[in-house]
Structure 1
Amino acid sequence: MKAVLLSEFGGIENLKIADIPAPDPKEDEVVLRVEAFGINPVDAKARQGKAFAAKLKNVNFPVILGKDVAGTVVKKGENVNHFEIGDRVYGVANNDSGFGNTYAEYTHSTTESLFKIPKNISSEVAASSPIAALTALQALREKVELKKEHTILIHAGAGGVGHFAIQYAKYVGAHVTASSSMANKEFILNTLGADAHIDYKTVNYDAYENAFDVVLDLVGLDNIDNAIKTTKPGGDVICVPSNSFDVFREKVTKKNVNGHTLLMHPDNEWLCYLANMLKKGILVPHISQKAALFEIKEVHKQIESGSTKGKIVVVP
C-alpha cells in the first residue's frame, strides 16, 4: 500500500510517500481500506513532536500520522463482533503505534473509537468530522450545557472546531457571536448563521467586557485574557488548546467565572450522536479542500497557516 511516512519529527520535508505492506489486525482491531482522512492542526503539531507526540516514549520511526478516518472494514480480529467485513465506519483511529496511521491506503484501529457511517453520508463528510465536531459538541454539551437563552462568543469561528461550534450553538438556539478575519465574515454570518461577527485583527475586547454567558476559546495563549474578560461574572469560559491549559488555569482564578479545559475523547456513544447530527444535516462540515496523498506537504503548510476555513480532507 502507499503511505506517507514521517522519518523523524520536524518539518514537512520529513514526510515521504512509500510503498509498505498493509497492516493485519490484532485480535481487537479492524483493518480499514481508507476512503478519506481528515486533516487537523494536531497533525502538524504531532509531525513536529508536539502535542500528544511529545508524551510518547520510544517512538519507532518512520511513523504514519493521522487520526480522523473513514473507510471500509476489510479485515477484523477474532474478538471483534460488532463490525463486519464490508461495513463503512468512521472515527478516530487508535492503535499501539501512538499515531492513528491514517495517512495511508489502509490503517488498523481498535473499535471503541469507530462507528458505522450513516448511509446518506459520504466518506469525505465522515472523515472531516470526528475530532473537530466532537470537540465542539463536548465543549457545548458536556463541559457547558449551552441553552437557548445563552449568549456565546466563539473565537476562531471559521476553523474546524469553530465552524461546528457555531452550527451546534445555532441549533440549540443561542445567540452566537464569532470571531474570524474579515475575509471569513460572510462565511461566519451567511453560511454558518452566526448572529454577529468580530474581526479579531481590529477588535478592542474592552467593548465586550462581561458580555457573554459562554466563551469558547479555540486560540489560547495570547487570547486567554480576551476570553476571560468577555465572560460574564458567573459565566463559563472553555479553553481548548492544550498548550494553554496551565496559563489559563492560573489566570481564570482571578475572575468570578467558571473555567474549563477540554481534551476531546472519542467513543462509540459520542460518535453515534455525531453520526445522527450529520445524518439529519444539523452539522455540515464545510470542506474547503480535497487533496490527494501526494499533496500532503502542501496540506500541512495550509493547516499550519492558521487560516484554513472549515476542513481539509485527503482521499488516498
Structure 2
Amino acid sequence: MRYAQLTRYGADAPFELRERRAREAGPFEVVVKVHAAGLNPADARGREGMGREGDPPPLGFDVSGVVTAVGAATTKFRPGDDVYGCAGGIGEADGSFSEEMTADERLLAHKPKSLSFREAAAMPLAVITAWEALVERAQITPGELVLVHGGTGGVGHFGVQLARATGAIVHATVSSAEKAELTRDLGAAEAINYRELEVADYVAKYTGGRGYDIVFDTVGGRNLEKSFAALATNGRVATTRPGDGLDLSVMGAKNATLHTVLMLIPLITGRDRERHGALLEKVARMVDDGRIRPLLDPHRFTLDQLGEALSFLDAGKPVGKLAVDIA
C-alpha cells in the first residue's frame, strides 16, 4: 500500500509516496482501507515539527474508510463496516495519509449513512472539539445566547450547528457577506461581519448591551480579548487556542469562567479513548437525522497532492473543512 511520508520538518516540507505492508491489527485494533483523510490545522503544525527532532512520524488524524480486518478481541466492528474517526497521527500510531491504517477501535465509530467518505473524514477532530467546548465545558443549555467566532471555520461551523441543535440562540462572526449567508444557512440567527462592527457595537445591537452567555472562540490569541468583552456577567468562554499574556481581570469583574479544549488528549495519553468513539456514534445519528452536517470546501486534493492541500489549509483559504481523496 502507498502512504505519504514527510521527508523533513518545515512549513513547505515535501511528502514522498512510499510503499509498505499494512500493520496487522492488535487485539483491540482494526485495519481500515482509507477512502478519505480530513485535514486540520494540527496536521499543518505537525508538518512544521512543533519542536520535534528526528524522523517525522506518520501524519494524518481524521479518517474514513472500510474495515478490512479486526483484532482477536475486537467486538465493535466487523470487516465491511464503514467507519470514521480521529484515530492517528500521534506517536507510534499509523497516520491517515495512507491507503490503509491500523487504528484503536475505541477511537472509531460507524460512519453516518447519509455522508460520503469525504464528508465523513472532514468531521471527527473538529466536531469533537466543538462538542467538548460547548456541551462538556461550557455546559450549554436551551435558550442561552451564544456567540461563535469563526462561523464558517472548520471547528466554528460545527459549533454553530451544535449550539443550534441544543436550542440555543446562535450568533457568529464572519468576514464577508458570502460567509454570513453560509452561517445563517447553518442555523445562526445573526451573522456579524467583524470587519464592519466593533465588539461594543454588536453587543449593543444584538444583545441590548447584555452580552453573550457563552462565547466559543476558535480564533484564540488576542481575539480572546474580544470574547471577554462580548461576554455577559456570569458567562463562559471556551477556546481552542488560549493566548499568552492576556489580561484576565475583565473575567473576574464579570464573574466569568474560561475553558480551554485540546481534544487530542485521549490520543496522546491513551486514556478515555472510548469516549471519542461513543461521541462520534451520537454525532452520526445527529447527521443522519439532519441536525448537523459538514461544510466541505469544494477544492479537491489527492494523496499525491497532500503538500499542496496542507499549504492551502495553512494559508487560511478553505471555507469549512478540507479532505484528501485517498481511494
Fold conserved between structures, TM > 0.5: yes
Q: Where does residue 270 of structure 1 map in the other structure?
A: 279
Q: How does 1:26-175 map to 2 (within 5 A)?
A: 26-50=26-50, 54=51, 61-94=55-88, 97-98=91-92, 100-175=94-169
Deviation of 1:250 (Å): 5.0
* Distance change in 2, residues 1:25/1:275 (3 Å): same
Match of 1:232, SS state, is: strand
Indicate whether 1:206 and 2:200 are aligned: yes
Contact between 2:60 and 2:96, CA under 8 Å: does it hold in 1?
A: yes
Q: How does 1:232-311 map to 2 (within 5 A)?
A: 232-241=232-241, 244=242, 247=245, 250=248, 253-255=251-253, 256-264=255-263, 267-288=276-297, 289-311=299-321
Contact between 1:130 and 1:271, CA under 8 Å: does it hold in 2?
A: yes
Letter in 1 for 2:96: T
Structure-2 separation of matches of 1:192 and 1:210: 25
Deviation of 1:309 (Å): 1.0
Between 94-103 and 119-128, report the one with greater CA deviation: 94-103
Match of 2:237, SS state, is: strand
Deviation of 1:3 (Å): 1.1
Deviation of 1:27 (Å): 2.8
Superposition RMSD in Å: 2.2
Deviation of 1:253 (Å): 4.7
Structure-2 separation of matches of 1:291 and 1:95: 19
Contact between 1:159 and 1:310, CA under 8 Å: does it hold in 2?
A: yes
Letter in 2 for 1:139: A
* Distance change in 2, residues 1:76/1:245 (3 Å): farther
Runs of 4+ in 1 over 6 A off after TM superposition: none
Out of 165, 172, 184, the position equivalent to 2:179 is 184
Structure-2 separation of matches of 1:116 and 1:280: 15
**Alignment gaps of 5+ in structure 1:** none
Contact between 2:133 and 2:239, CA under 8 Å: does it hold in 1?
A: no
Residue identity over aligned pairs, in percent, reads 30
Q: Where does residue 323 of structure 2 map in the other structure?
A: 313
Match of 1:268, SS state, is: helix
Q: Where does residue 231 of structure 1 map in the other structure?
A: 231
Letter in 1 for 2:16: K
Deviation of 1:157 (Å): 0.9
Contact between 2:224 and 2:243, CA under 8 Å: does it hold in 1?
A: no
Structure-2 separation of matches of 1:252 and 1:71: 47
* Distance change in 2, residues 1:234/1:101 (3 Å): same
Deviation of 1:68 (Å): 0.8
TM-score, normalised relative to structure 2 = 0.86
Contact between 2:62 and 2:122, CA under 8 Å: does it hold in 1?
A: yes
Match of 2:32, SS state, is: strand
Contact between 2:4 and 2:16, CA under 8 Å: does it hold in 1?
A: yes
* Distance change in 2, residues 1:185/1:253 (3 Å): closer
Q: Deviations over 1:282-316 (max 9, x none)?
A: 11102113321122122111211224211111111
Indicate whether 1:222 and 2:222 are aligned: yes
Contact between 1:245 and 1:261, CA under 8 Å: does it hold in 2?
A: no
Structure-1 separation of matches of 2:144 and 2:56: 48
Between 224-233 and 263-272, report the one with greater CA deviation: 263-272
Between 133-142 and 72-81, report the one with greater CA deviation: 72-81
Structure-2 separation of matches of 1:195 and 1:119: 29
* Distance change in 2, residues 1:233/1:177 (3 Å): same
Structure-2 separation of matches of 1:35 and 1:161: 22
Deviation of 1:232 (Å): 0.5
**Alignment gaps of 5+ in structure 2:** 204-208, 267-274
Q: Deviations over 1:46-91 (max 9, x none)?
A: 11122xxx5x7xx662432111111111122222232212221111
* Distance change in 2, residues 1:249/1:114 (3 Å): farther
Letter in 1 for 2:130: A
Aligned residues: 307
